[in-house]
Every structure is written in structure tokens, then in C-alpha cells.
Amino acid sequence: MRETWMRRARRAALGAAALVAAAALCGAGLLRAPAAGAADEQCFPETGKCLQGRFLAYWQAHGGLATNGYPLSGEFQQRLEDGKPYTVQYFERVRMEYHPENQPPYDVELGQFGRDIHPADPAVAPQAGDTYFQATGHNVAPDFYAYWLQHGGLDQFGYPLTEEIHETLDGRDYVVQYFERARFERHPENPAPWDIELGQFGRRIFTTSLAALQQPCRSADLAASVAWNAGAGQRIGDITYRNQSPAPCALTGRPQVQVVDGQGQPIGVPPAGGDAGTGDGGPGLILQPTQTALQSVRFGNWCGDRDAPQALLITLPQNGGQSTVSPVSVPPCLGNVPPAFDSGPLTMGPTPAVQTLRAFYEAIDSKDYHAAYNLLGAAWQQRQSYDDFASGYADTEFVTPAILTAYPTGSDGAILNVVLTAKHTDGSTHHYAGTYTVAPEGNGLRIVAASIAQTD
């Protein structure tokens, strides 16, 4: 997907984009890294987040905003790769981890996002004129090495994991190199010293792991209901899951749905959806209080010889418990054919902001670029012409958005945290993650800002 407008929109969206983190990860009682004093704090109106104590000291001593980016979250507990819980804080480019078992200054470490996103390539031979790192067997060119030295070196970026390689970022070809904690990008269109940029690893990992960082939804948290529409020998409908608890919760994977009789016993129709214990993967959704999620269901060809189906038994992922939804409308028997029942993936409920973003991508998929362009805000349209916008999707066959969170901002506006799957005309598929800001403008809602990055 050649969304060339995304990089130009990124800086304008910094403040709004990270507000999703506030909604998804707010909570009481989070462990704080030790603070040096009551005034030892710095807050950023761009994201509404603050830094304190050891994390603030590390941020200031290791390149500040240019190297680490704005904070995307407050401090919170996360179980890391070693299976132990640590106090962490996410930034646009890094994740800071507080390790009290280490003596200062080694009590603050950075997550090795580079290894998560791009595993190490095989070692190569030293190249003349480059700096060779024996530890991983890779070369670093003089300009990348100078940036590496000047902005924190080994502690900040780690060892190189690859040689220089070509990657498509926002529809353009760039030379990049992966390190243990960063991706260096060479941008010849920028004057020095801004011709070298760092990939926003923190934003990418944070976006794709939001659901994993949030408490899973339990059956007691959700009020479930189903609405059916008649079809040709079948019933098609949506199960609505409404968060009736006072706190956000995550639906990771796909709830399992099974047809049961009047006594609550399963009948001869295989269950649909994910595994009852863990779900079937996917980024999941985070539901704020009163927000809803939808799961499509289809039931047809009822030819059973037992009691007619009476209800749907729902088993939530992550051992979230069970609930029953009724009634089930029984379709007619179409002859000597087995019964059919299936369900779709979870989607965010139809808030106005969610509907706006879905309408945008429905227009993209139908090649109605004028309709999609008209859903962009006026300031966005001033920055990018219609022709440039349309040409950015020339090699895109379709885009499927998965909306993870919808953080309301008032007057039907919202900040939407999304994962996008784009199928290209050459048959390739790529994935993207980030945020869209939808706000009232003119006579309706418009997409006014975005911060999207490719994740593969």
C-alpha cells in the first residue's frame, strides 16, 4: 500500500495518536520507578504523558526527543521476555524497562525491538571503509556509524543485526539497517543531519500489543445480545458484546459460539469461532466502558432430529467464561444437507468515528477515490492533492482495517488504533499499524490526522 501521505501526516498526529495509550492502559496502583524528587517530572502536552525519575534521567541523557521520541504511555507493569514483571514505559522509538536488580546506571534498559521485528541475518565478512562488529558479524557504513556513536552507541542501539538493505516505507524505497534496538533509515530527501532517521519501533510494538497489555474481558464484563436478519434458507446476524464494567478490557482472539437446545446442551452443529481457551489469534480489541464489539454469525440448513436450537453458548477467549444469548431464529430445512453455522472475526461496534474510517476504506476498495478523499479533513487536503492521494493507492487491491480501540474525544470524534492488511496488485500482502484521528468538521466527521507505519 503506497500511502505516501502517511509520513507527511505523522508529525501532525503525534499528540492525538498516543491518547489511545491513555485509554487502553490507564489504571491505579502501577509501580513507579524511583523518583529523585517531587519536581523530578516532565510532561508533554503533545501526548498528555509525563516522565519522572530514572526514566526521565535516562531520556534526558540518551538523546531526548530526537532519539527516543515522545512518551506513548505512562509507567505500567508488563511481563517481559524472561517471564518476569517489570515497570516499563513506551516511547515512539523505544521501550524503557526498569531493572531494580541492576545497579545504576544499568537499572534502565531498552527493549530489543530490532530482534522482534527483524531477526539477525547471518554474519558476513568485513567490508573496507565500514566499521565491523565482530559480536554479530555485520558492517556499519560511516554515516550510520557516526550517528550510532553520537546518539548513544551500544547502550542505546545495540549491535547491528543486518547489513544495509532496501525496504519500502510509505511507498518509497529506502536504505535501512536493523540494530538490536533500532532501525536506521537513510533519507536523502532531507538535509543533514536529518537525512538519518530512526524507525518508530516503540509505536509499532505498542500498537500491535495493546490487547496483550490489557486485562482480558470476562463474561461478567460483557452484556451479549444477538440480532438476526432473514436470508435465503438461513439467518444472518451480529452478536453484540457491550462492556458493562467500569474498566477497559481486551477481547483477544475470537469467541467460540455454539448452538444449544432448550436445556443448554450442544446440538449436532459444530461450534464456530476460536479455541475456547485462547482464541484464534489476531490483534484483538480493547473495549472502553460502554463500547461494543460485533461478531457476525450465520446459521442455516437446520435439518436436525433433536430439539430445535434455542440459544447460543458463547465461550470467551483467555478463559473468560461463558454466557448464553437467546433466542435463536430457526431457518427452514433445505433438504438432506448438514446444518451450517459459522462466525466472523471481531470488529469494533458502529460508532460514528468507526463508521467514518470504514467508509473511507470501503471507498478505497471500490476505487472510489473521490469519496475517500472527501472524508479527509480540509488541512489534510491542503497538504495533499487528490491526484497524489489517488496515485498512492495505484498498486493496492484492497485494504482490511482491524480497529483495536476507539478512544472518544467528544462530539462523536475519536482516536482509532488500527491494524491494516493491504493486498497489492502484484499479489503481495503487507501489514500496517497506527492511529487515525476522526473529528467533526463541516457537516460531518472527517479523518484529520494519521500516524501509520508498516509492520512487516
DSSP 18: T
CA distance linking residue 117 with residue 371, whole number of Å: 35
Q: What is the mean pLDDT of residues 52-78?
A: 86
Cell 475456547 -> residue: 276
Among 95, 115, 122, 110, which Cα is nearest to 183's? 115
Among 381, 434, 419, which Cα is nearest to 5's? 381
Cβ–Cβ under 8 Å, residues 168 and 119: no
Among 266, 275, 261, 230, which Cα is nearest to 326's? 261
**Residue-wise pLDDT tens digits, 194-231:** 899 888 777 667 666 665 667 788 999 999 998 888 76
- How sure is the predictor about 309, in pLDDT bands with cuts at 50, 70 and 90? confident
Question: Which stretch of 89-93, 336-340, 433-437 has the lowest confidence by average pLDDT?
Answer: 336-340
Give pTM, 2 decimals: 0.57
The CA distances from residue 252 to 270, 296, 318, in Å, are 22, 16, 8
State the number of CA atoms in the 13 A half-sphere of 329 facing the CB: 15
**Residue-wise pLDDT tens digits, 77-129:** 777 777 788 888 988 888 899 999 999 888 999 888 777 778 889 999 999 99
Among 96, 68, 110, 92, which Cα is nearest to 15's? 92
**What stretch of H or E contains 201?**
helix 201-208
